[in-house]
Amino acid sequence: TILKTFPYPEITVRTLLNHRSGLTNYAYYLDDRKVWDHSKQVTNQDILEVFIKHNAPLDYKTDKRFAYNNTNYAMLALIIEKVVGLSYPEAMKQMIFEPLQMKNTFVIDYTKEYKKYSQSYKGNYRKHELNHLETVYGDKNIYSTPRDLLKFHQAVSSDKYLTPELMEEIYKGYSYENAGTRNYGLGIRMMEWKEGKTLYYHNGWWHGNTSSYVDLRDENTVIIALSNKYTTMTYKTLILSTLFGDYPLKLKKDELGF
């Protein structure tokens, strides 16, 4: 066990990455003011300690089904810190951002001068208020640019950054209990069609910030869109895939998962 106090021994790094852990959503769990004082910022360690203190039950038995949940990424950030002996922001800087020359990418610290960075806006152009969940990372709080994300994409698409064995584990589906085209790998969404085409993508959202990353591996093409004003149009960049390959794609609301 990497996190010695982690109270769910059946959960592994793999089931965190493929969202089959069964962990409950920390944002909803800490919404109860009896569980957390909303005048205080939550940290990743706080989430773990609250789960331990309240004996938070799993939503379902581990590895029995898929349910996307940002608690998984918050716990993975703690694991990174434990394994490499650095804070998550510093680990990302030393292990990814600096080696890949992602000069405009960083993990934001909301306790410092966040106002000098790109602000987050609601759909009506009003600034989004901050809340008690701002300081949780792993699931959010990385500021970047399309050009820097292109550098990241080029790295993870080469055989120099990740081993072929690891790539195979990342880009395969783990959730086939429900019929359909959608699936999930290790930290990446997938659409698989019986015609043989597979599309890899991931969307993001926090407050007014939305993002879309679409990886067309067959065509060696990537589509990246970022917005700091809330709009679902960001996610519709997925349809641009049809310009580059024969993807039988039809957008539906339930296919735009974050």
Query: Which residue is listed with tokens 């009003």?
Result: 126
pLDDT above 60 for 254: no
Q: Where are the domains of the chain?
A: 13-107, 144-255
Q: To the nearest whole number, what is the mean pLDDT of the chain?
A: 94
Homologous superfamily of the 144-255 domain (CATH): DD-peptidase/beta-lactamase superfamily (3.40.710.10)
For 136-148, what is each residue's pLDDT tens digit?
999 999 999 999 9
For 49-60, what is each residue's pLDDT tens digit?
999 999 999 999
Stretch 145-163: mean pLDDT = 95
Burial of 39 (0-12, 13-18, 19+ CB in 10 A): exposed
Instruction: Supply the DSSP string of 111-134, one letter for each residue.
Output: TS-GGGSPP-B-TTSPBPPP-TTT
Supply 254's token pair.
Answer: 């339930």
Question: How far is residue 103 from each of residues 69, 89, 115, measured CA to CA in Å?
Answer: 29, 14, 19
pLDDT band per the 50, 70, 90 thresholds, residue 189: very high
C-alpha–C-alpha distance, residues 252 and 90, integer Å: 38
pLDDT above 70 for 108: yes
